[in-house]
């Protein structure tokens, strides 16, 4: 039973980690907040893509078109949202800190946000597409049990609207974690039930 819960918890961990990080994310970038801004986004480079990977794992072993659409949209989210993290998070945070205190933000730093923000928009829309496709697929395949993944939808929308900023983004990432873990648990339970049903072999007569 413990192993049945371990896999769902593992798949939900990226979203949960980002939700916790969002509690400490500054709401504005200045010299005073720049180091924390940079320090939070640096590990995000590794964690943001894992949210998409966890969603793609839910259709592992399949080659149908819908499964591939889930994978592709998860990949688009992972690449474009990581680009946002690098440009507007790591890059802008580092440069702002290096400028020193009481230095007005130069236009060049603002230009970094003009690059990063549209990249993040593409990524967050791809995340929305991914969860819509995944939920539709799981409802068809799993029936009412797939409602365990319903938190994915408001979660993706809140991340689209609020990144990982509290409260919207924090709630969004937490809901993504819950929805991903919920679908993984439904899948693990179904696989366990299928394994427990062994086909009966042919009857044989024993003795003379």
Contacts of 113 (CB under 8 A, 6+ apart): 87, 88, 92
Q: What is the pLDDT of residue 104?
A: 84
With a cut of 60, say whether residue 82 has pLDDT above it.
Answer: yes
pLDDT higher than 70, residue 205: no
Question: CA–CA separation, 23 vs 165, rounded Å?
Answer: 7
Residue 207: per-residue pLDDT? 44
Per-residue pLDDT, averaged over 110-126, amounts to 96
Lowest average pLDDT, out of 7-16, 110-119, 182-191, goes to 182-191
Surface-to-core class of residue 122, CB atoms within 10 Å of its CB (0-12 exposed, 13-18 middle, 19+ buried):
middle
The pTM (predicted TM-score) of the whole model is 0.88
Greater pLDDT, 44 or 201: 44
pLDDT for 167 beyond 90: yes
Query: What's the confidence (pLDDT) of residue 189?
Result: 66
User: What's the distance, CA 122 to chain centroid?
Assistant: 15
- Quick check: 179 pLDDT over 90? yes
Buried b / exposed e over 158-191, threshold 16 CB at 10 Å, is bbbebbbbeebbbbbbbbbbbbbbbbbbbbbeee
Q: Average pLDDT in the 165-178 region?
A: 97
pLDDT at 102: 85
> What is the per-residue pLDDT for 108?
86
In this prediction, residues 170-199 reach a mean pLDDT of 80
93, 53 contact by CB (below 8 A):
no
pLDDT tens readout for residues 127-144: 999 999 999 999 999 999
Give the pLDDT band of residue 3 (cuts 50, 70, 90): low
Q: Give the pLDDT mean for 21-47.
A: 95
The overall average pLDDT reported for the chain is 90
Report residue 32 as tokens.
């005073």
Radius of gyration of the chain (CA): 21
Residue among 87, 28, 70, 102 at smallest CA distance from 180: 70
């Amino acid at each position: 039973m413990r192993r049945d819960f371990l896999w769902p918890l593992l798949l939900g961990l990226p979203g949960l980690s980002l939700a916790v990080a969002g509690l400490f994310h500054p709401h504005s970038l200045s010299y005073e907040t720049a180091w924390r801004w940079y320090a939070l986004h640096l590990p995000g480079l590794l964690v943001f893509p894992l949210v998409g990977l966890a969603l793609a794992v839910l259709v592992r072993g399949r080659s149908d078109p819908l499964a591939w659409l889930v994978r592709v949209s998860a990949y688009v989210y992972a690449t474009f949202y990581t680009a946002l993290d690098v440009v507007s998070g790591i890059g802008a945070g580092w440069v702002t800190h290096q400028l020193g205190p009481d230095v007005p933000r130069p236009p060049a730093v603002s230009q970094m946000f003009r690059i990063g923000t549209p990249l993040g928009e593409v990524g967050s829309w791809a995340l929305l597409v991914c969860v819509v496709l995944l939920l539709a697929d799981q409802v068809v395949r799993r029936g009412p049990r797939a409602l365990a993944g319903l938190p994915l939808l408001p979660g993706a929308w809140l991340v689209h609207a609020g990144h990982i900023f509290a409260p919207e983004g924090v709630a969004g990432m937490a809901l993504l974690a819950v929805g991903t873990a919920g679908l993984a648990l439904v899948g693990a339970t179904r696989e366990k039930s299928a394994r427990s049903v062994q086909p009966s072999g042919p009857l044989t007569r024993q003795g003379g």
